[in-house]
Structure 1
Amino acid sequence: MYPRYARDKQLWSENEYFNEPAKDDIAREIWKLVDKNSPDPRYLWDVKSKKTIRVHQRHPEYVCISHTWGRWTVKLPSHVSIPGVPWKVLENTLYNVRDLPNMLLKLKYDFIWLDLFCLPQDDSPEHRAEVANQTAIFHRAKKCIAWLNDVETWDGTEAAMDYLGMKYLRTSATDPELAVSDKRVKSSISAAADHCLELMKENDEPSSWFLSLWTLQEAALCPDLQLCTRSMELLLDKTGTPISLSTLIAILSLLRTPNRSQMAEFPSDPLFDIVPECVSKPFLLGKMTKLEWLLEHLSPMDIMVASNTRTCKRSRAVAIMNALGVLDWYKTESEGGNLGTGGKEEKLVLDTFPIEFVREVARKYGTVFYTAVESVNSYRVKTHEGLWGFPDVHIGSMMPFSETHGWYTSVMNAVTVPAIQKKDHEAVASWHINENRSVRIRSAGIISCSSDSANKSPIKSFVATMEGGERLTIVQNKSAHADLHASLRELAGDKMVFYAVVLQEDYGQKSGILLQAPRTRIPKPRKRWLIKTGFFNTLESSPPTLCTAVNWCVA
């Protein structure tokens, strides 16, 4: 048994975000991802007969294939007919679609779900219904396989796994029979040093499968998916056991953070101090793609934050909506015939997601939607009319995504606070997201303000603010038990006002965000502009924070 930090698809039921909450446990309803009444896939590929079949009643066991091709379609769209497929298929420059029927024979499964052969390649109602049913299709599959069609062999990856396995055994095994000899370690290092890691290209760009936003969703739905090469060769260990994506990420996580006893026993080891390049690259892969964090936690907002690193030719919201369980906006648009996977999306927030999709995510997940961290420069502040009086560089965003996408996106994972009984503050449900990605706030749970009287009872808390520049940094207050009121007064100085706004409560302890505004009196009824500039957690119980009527617009 390999260590498994990432959840497999059978363990989604343990994820708090996708279970019905106990009565009065949290302020908003969180639904399960898969509705028991959701339909089975309408089409499957019969591997032996080499044809697409219609699933009428109970579906046979099938395997899902995750792959990417949309960004490589030929410039002059060319549709070809594949024998056995009831619709034409787009050609791409990654591989010859005509070869797929014979290539799929190598996987030795009777039935396969592959989008090109099982998803009508148009924007018909049938196509849109299947796109909205991706969660059920992937969850009900016997297995999921990631087809990395730009990877030719597993030589370097297998050598790297040998090395990582040796190191894991050497630092964790207690059975003398599992002791790793120097000879075996040297042999493993030598073998690894002679290869390049196929999962990473020469320019440190990951394999194209890791670039796609659609495959991010599929990895979240099936984190235990197996990996195969262009020629359909699975990544296996020496016993013939498939090494899944979750296994790979789990081993990287274990070796990245050894426990204290391991560090004390092996403070320095020449055999492992010199790390082959193909062994160091998997750590870079996990960090760049955010998969190490994502597959360990599998929280919905982590999926949305990770989407900033991925590329999508069009319809970014459609590519991840199933992983979030956010489908109402799509079904409404689809019924009107205005939106398919290739449809035109209007009113995009930050040129990324449709406004109705963003609002539905916020309604469904409540306060966690507003906890992501992003660095913001002065250009963004200037886009808001009336937002003035701030320094040149500003930090914060109420959105868990940005208008720039890529491996070095400025958006960081949402702040997670361990809790036993999370409860959203009632005011957050009334917050309204504007099309310009600002948030209109009429009511807020203000637990502290820098302009409050200095005689207020202290609140022990952890406070962190975000500072800008070329890179985002988080600056913690000097004492984890500092008074929240005093911390805000210190941050505000003479020119600013800081508010600590409660998002969640956990048995009397509060967590939330810091909002910053210029110390300028604005005559009513003009709204006041603020920016998010940090977050806080109180470290002791206090009475519920009441709602305060405000007239804010937060950038």
Structure 2
Amino acid sequence: MSDLPGPWQPGYWETAGETGEHGPPPAQLEHARVIPSRCSLWMKLVIYKQVMRPRVNNVTPYFRSMSVEDGWAYGRDAWLSMMQLMAETFAHPPNAETSWISDILPNERLRFRQSLSDCQLRAWEILRDWWDGSYQDADLASRARAFILTAPVADIDSLRHKESLYQQMLFALWDAEFNPSAWSTGTSRGLDSNRRLGYEHALAQKAGFLLLQELRPSSNCFGQDPCGMELPSSYDICPWLSKGHDDNKNPEQLPLYLWDTAEDRTRSVAELLDNEAPIDYTCISHTWGRWKKKPESRVEVQGVKWKIPENTLFEVTNLPTILRQSGCKTRFIWFDLVCLPQDISSPEYQSEVARQATIFHHASSCVAWINKVASWKNLRASLRWLCLYFLYAGTSSDLYDVRTLLQEAEAIESPIELVNVVDGEGAFEAWITSTWTLQESCLCPDILLCNKDWEPLEIVDGSPVSLHQLLTIWSVCREGNFDIQMDISEWPMPVQQLAHIQSMVSGLEVQISRLVILSLGATRECAMRRADAVMSAMGVTDWYETYLNEHQRPPPDEDMVLGAYPLRFIKEVASKIGSEFFSNFNPGVLAPEEEDPRGTLLPFGRPGTHLISGSGLGVNQSLYDDTFDHPSLQTWTINTDGSVHIREACVLGLGHLTTEGPVNALLNVARIRGGIDLFHCDLQEFLQKAPENVERIALVLNRIRDTTNGMLLQSKVARDGAVVGWINIGTWDTRDVADFPLSVDLDIIVL
């Protein structure tokens, strides 16, 4: 992409400045200037016109002066233009007369497509399928096309959007991407939400359709062209990490070694790059460390440059045969035992540990080899039940007539293969509990689950389902705003067990954040060097690389915060994430048995402690340039016992700051006996109504557009009445604090 014009390059619009000297005026870039790779598809077309066709007439008007009619006209024309520009085959092709484009110049299509980020390309793909009705009732698809071509004259009810959640969510996505008159803010947050919801519902809808095509191939709900077998792949994979775009030709973005299945041997990537061809490879994730033979023994394996530790799960001398049978579509494979030197003191091993994000990001595909699972019978049955439930509950009047099929699918043999829960205690498959595989599943959410015989989990034969896709379908069905709502307790028990998988893989939400990785990393099995196992996925490796360069060895596991992570590592996490690091709280912090609740300001607990956090803030706040942290946070110090020394803070209450009139705020507060209360009230009144002999204060964390956000602290009193510190009991946000107040000297310890 180095030959692309400046506006296509990542970061270009970020330097445009208030004058907009690099392109259209700032008012036309309200969405693009937030994060250019996340701007709407409509804005991508505007940039296309400005860059590729600067002399084109009828330049796009300012947002603020755009009428509803103009917005629809520009949105419709942009949509039809994009259909032509992407040069794909449509069942319902665009009308060139209403397009912005009458001819396509050489290389324009390639350049435009390359300029789309993952989230923009995914939005385009699922909107394209929606337009063609690839996996929707034909009449609903026809109504969607007719509405877009005739709005705003057409009646919104002609969409029949109330009859289908898929129709509703995909129209909302189209509106967010292509109707500028509907945009009310200069932020990509709302657009991100529409993209995520559109993707989730498109995924569940297509998976359901694939299953319905297998079970009822003669159904009249299918269009003329059956949808393809591949499910929509995920996007926004660790968006805080930068990714290269040089077609896997740069050795700095590739592993040191790869396994060649054609020659059954480990090969140097530097040697392979001599051919000047991009290298495609598959990453295979597995876990074996807990099954090392004791005493440790290492053996030579034919084709491998170093000796390999033996384990009791599989015979390592058979690895050439095992990898040949993996069924990977690429010739080259990255498999740790044969591609990562097994001497942990070697410079090659130590440097590769910090490069796991690079190694997994540049893989063509990823596979999790769950070598203790014989089949996916029950997990597949549970997945199929969820897909039928989505079609049943997500459409009114049982549009797809799946009620009988749903009832038949409920006869699932328990348990699912990844977890066996007895009396509330979970016994997870080892791959789910390993800290190293947590990093790999976050870096490659589309990782395919394969059993010991390399058979993937599939919704139907030929349509594999990744771990992220599985949990996304589960989440959509659990949280869906269905007209027909079935309580989760009524679901088949094996289907309910997917909640335990999600809690171990991504926490309470499917969306991954750095704090989720940090929190879950503390819960998983790890014999040593826990931070090493998650740092690459979090993009927090400076502490490691700096020490390694200075001392030629990794930093020692010392000064452990709550016994989980080195203080050096946690300091870098906090500095890179900012106020989001302190935005979570433990709903059980006020429980009577919590005598010394250390770590109430930290987003993780002691090793093995599954910390369920509450938060008033969304995830990945630091990705947006409309979040401004209060500068006093830079004076806070994290201690190894989990406490935080707050020297300065912006304080509401405790006599430090008052405002005229009430401060109307939304509070998210821990209950006395556990759990969370969410309510609106006057923040100052809440602070004043603290229990007897207890004080409360509200600290400001950040400001997001017109909203000020913070946390609630409550004094911790010993039995003799002495204040021993403070604890974090919740979060708050308000629009009644207009500006950032100044910080004051506080000098307190938050336990």
Fold match (TM-score > 0.5): yes
Match of 1:371 among 556, 560, 583: 583
Equivalent residue for 1:511, pick from 709, 727, 730: 709
Aligned with residue 685 of structure 2, among 486, 505, 528: 486
Matches within 5 A, 1:516-555: 516-517=714-715, 529-555=725-751
Aligned to 1:279: 495
The offset of 1:108, in angstroms, is: 2.9
What is residue 85 of structure 1 aligned with on the other side? 304
Partners of 2:617 and 2:244 in 1: CA distance: 24
Does residue 47 in structure 1 map to residue 261 in structure 2? yes
What residue identity is the alignment partner of 1:60? I
Match of 1:11 among 236, 245, 261: 236
Q: What letter is aligned with 1:147?
A: W
TM-aligned CA deviation for residue 177 of structure 1: 8.2
In structure 1, the partner of 2:339 is 118
Give the Cα–Cα distance (whole angstroms) in 2 for the partners of residues 175 and 260 of structure 1.
12
* 8 Å CA contact 1:158, 1:237 repeated in 2: yes
Structure 2: distance between partners of 1:518 and 1:275: 42
* Match status 1:349 vs 2:561: yes
CA, structure 1 residues 495+451, in 2 after alignment: closer, same or farther (shift >3 Å)? farther
**Where does the alignment leave 5 or more consecutive residues of structure 1 unmatched?**
19-30, 382-391, 521-526
Residue number in structure 1 paired with 2:185: none
Q: Distance in 1 between matches of 2:645 and 2:598?
A: 18
Question: Could you give the per-residue CA deviations for residues 258-309 of structure 1, whole angstroms, max 9, x where no partner exists?
Answer: 314233xxx79xxx9964433332233223x152645x32221121122232
- Structure 1 552/176 Cα, relative in aligned 2: closer, same or farther at 3 Å? closer
Partner in structure 2 of residue 326 of structure 1:
540
Query: 1 CA distance for matches of 2:348 and 2:592?
Result: 43
Q: Specify the SS of the correspondent of 1:145.
A: strand
- Partners in 1 of 2:255 and 2:675 — Cα distance? 46
Deviation at 1:208, TM superposition (A): 1.0
Q: Note if 1:197 corresponds to 2:416.
A: yes
Q: Distance in 2 between matches of 1:102 and 1:174?
A: 52
Specify the code of the residue in structure 1 equivalent to 2:242: K
The reply to whether residue 307 of structure 1 matches residue 521 of structure 2 is yes
Trace 1:300-449 onto structure 2 (pairs within 5 A): 300-337=514-551, 339-340=553-554, 344-374=556-586, 375-376=588-589, 392=595, 397-406=600-609, 409-412=610-613, 414-417=615-618, 421-446=626-651, 448-449=652-653
Contact residue 495 and residue 518 of structure 1 kept, 8 A: no
Q: Is the 8 A contact 2:392 2:398 kept in 1?
A: no
1:364 and 1:46 map into 2 onto residues whose CA distance is: 38
Q: How far off its partner does 1:210 sit?
A: 0.4
Indicate the residue corresponding to 1:238 in structure 2: 460
Give the CA deviation at 1:541: 4.8
1:212-291 equivalences in 2 (<5 Å): 212-263=434-485, 275-287=491-503, 289-291=504-506
| Contact 1:4–1:247 (Cα < 8 Å) also in 2 | no
**TM-aligned CA deviation for residue 444 of structure 1:** 0.7
Query: Conserved in 2, the CA contact under 8 Å of 1:372 and 1:411?
Result: no
- Structure 2 contact 598–643 (Cα < 8 Å) conserved: no
1:462 — aligned with what? 666
Q: CA deviation at 1:39?
A: 3.0
* 1:498 alignment partner in structure 2: 696
Partner of 1:473: 675
Tell me the secondary structure at the aligned position of residue 247 of structure 1.
Answer: helix
Name the stretch that deviates more: 412-421 or 315-324. Answer: 412-421
Structure 1 residue 450 displacement after superposition: 4.0
* 1:290 to 1:426, Cα distance in 2 relative to 1, 3 A: same
> Cα 1:67–1:298, aligned 2, differ >3 Å: closer, same or farther?
same
2:695 partner SS: strand
SS in 1 for 2:392: helix
CA separation of 1:286/1:315 partners in 2, compared to 1, >3 Å: closer, same or farther? same
Distance in 2, matches of 1:518 and 1:153, equals 52
1: CA distance, partners of 2:590 / 2:295: 39
Per the TM alignment, residue 171 of structure 1 is displaced from its structure 2 partner at its CA by: 2.0
Deviation at 1:175, TM superposition (A): 10
| Greater alpha carbon shift after TM alignment, 117-126 vs 57-66 | 57-66
Cα drift, residue 505 of structure 1: 0.5
Matched to 1:93, the amino acid is T
State the AA in 2 paired with 1:72.
W
Q: Which has the higher contact order (CA 8 A, sep 6+)?
A: 1
Q: Measured at CA, do residues 8 and 548 of structure 1 come closer, stay the same or move farther in structure 2, by a change above 3 Å?
A: farther
Q: Which amino acid aligns with 1:91?
A: E
Q: Look up the equivalent residue of 1:489 and give its one-letter code.
A: Q
**Offset, 1:322:** 0.7
Distance verdict in 2 for CA 1:368–1:47, change over 3 Å: same
Is the contact between residue 460 and residue 540 of structure 1 (CA under 8 Å) also seen in structure 2?
yes
Comparing 232-241 with 199-208, greater Cα deviation is found at: 199-208
Aligned in 2, Cα 1:178/1:336: closer, same or farther, shift over 3 Å?
Answer: same
Cα distance between partner residues in 1 of 2:283 and 2:628: 37
Q: Deviation of residue 214 (structure 1)?
A: 0.8
State the distance in 2 between where 1:367 and 1:136 align. Answer: 27
Q: How does 1:152-231 map to 2 (within 5 A)?
A: 152-173=374-395, 178-180=400-402, 182=404, 184-190=405-411, 192-193=412-413, 196-201=415-420, 203=422, 204-231=426-453
Listed as ranges, the gaps of 5+ residues in structure 2 are 1-125, 127-134, 136-197, 204-231
Between 161-170 and 351-360, report the one with greater CA deviation. 161-170
- Determine the structure 1 residue equivalent to 2:105: none
Would the aligned equivalents of 1:396 and 1:534 in 2 still touch at CA under 8 Å? Answer: no
Distance across 1 between alignment mates of 2:401 and 2:462:
22
| Distance 1:445-1:405 versus aligned 2 partners, 3 A rule | same
Query: Residue type matched to 2:262 in 1?
Result: K
1:12 Cα deviation from its structure 2 partner:
3.4
SS of the equivalent of 1:487 reads helix
* 8 A contact 2:361–2:443 mirrored in 1: yes
**What is the alpha-carbon distance in structure 2 between the residues aligned to residue 344 and residue 395 of structure 1?**
24
Letter in structure 1 aligned against 2:454: M
Report if the CA contact (8 A) 1:166-1:185 is conserved.
yes
Cα RMSD after superposing both structures:
3.2
SS in 2 for 1:368: helix
Aligned partners of 1:178, 1:380: CA distance in 2, in Å? 52
Cα 1:396–1:45 shift into 2, 3 Å? closer
Percent identity (aligned): 30
Match of 1:32 in 2: 242
Judging by fraction of residues, say which structure has more helix: 2
Distance 1:394 1:199, change over 3 A: closer
Could you tell me how far apart the structure 2 residues matched to 1:394 and 1:344 are? 27
For the residue of structure 2 that corresponds to 1:144, the secondary structure is strand
What secondary structure sits across from 1:209 in the alignment?
Answer: helix
**Structure 1 residues 417 and 64: CA distance shift in structure 2, 3 A:** closer
Amino acid at match of 1:426: P
Q: TM-score, normalised by structure 1?
A: 0.82
Distance across 2 between alignment mates of 1:422 and 1:245: 31
Pairwise CA distance, 1:497: 2.2
Other-structure match for 1:298: 512
Change (3 A) 1:166 1:528: closer
Are the equivalent residues in 2 in contact too, given 1:305–1:414 (CA < 8 A)?
no
For 2:591 and 2:399, locate their aligned partners in 1 and report how far apart those are by CA, in whole Å. Answer: 61
Instruction: Supply the distance in 1 between the matched residues of 2:605 and 2:364 (Cα, whole angstroms).
Output: 36
